[in-house]
Amino acid sequence: MKTKLLILNLFIIVLFYSCKEPNVSFEVAQPENVKKQNKFSRNIIGTYYNLENKTELIIGENYIFKKMKTEDTLKISELDKNEIIKNDTLYKLNTKEKYKIRKITDSLFTDYVFSDTIFNLKKNNILKKYKGYYFLNKEIEKSGFWEVEKLNLKNGILKINGIETENEIRLLEIITETKRDTLKHFSVKPTKKQFKEFIKKNGFKEGEIYLKK
Tens digits of residue pLDDT in 54-73: 899 999 999 999 988 766 77
Looking at residue 88, what is its pLDDT? 78
Q: What is the pLDDT of residues 142-181, one digit of tens each?
A: 888 999 999 999 999 999 999 999 999 999 999 999 988 7
Task: Give the alpha-carbon dihedral of 133, 158, 114, 98, to 10 degrees.
Answer: 130
Ranges of the chain with pLDDT below 70: 1-21, 70-71, 111-113, 183
Strand blocks (E) in the chain: 24-26, 36-37, 46-50, 55-59, 63-75, 83-86, 89-92, 97-104, 107-120, 125-130, 133-139, 146-154, 157-162, 186-188, 206-212
**pLDDT at residue 20, rounded to an integer:** 61
What is the value of pTM for the model shown?
0.77
Domain boundaries in the chain? 2-8+22-212
Amino acid letter, residue 61: E
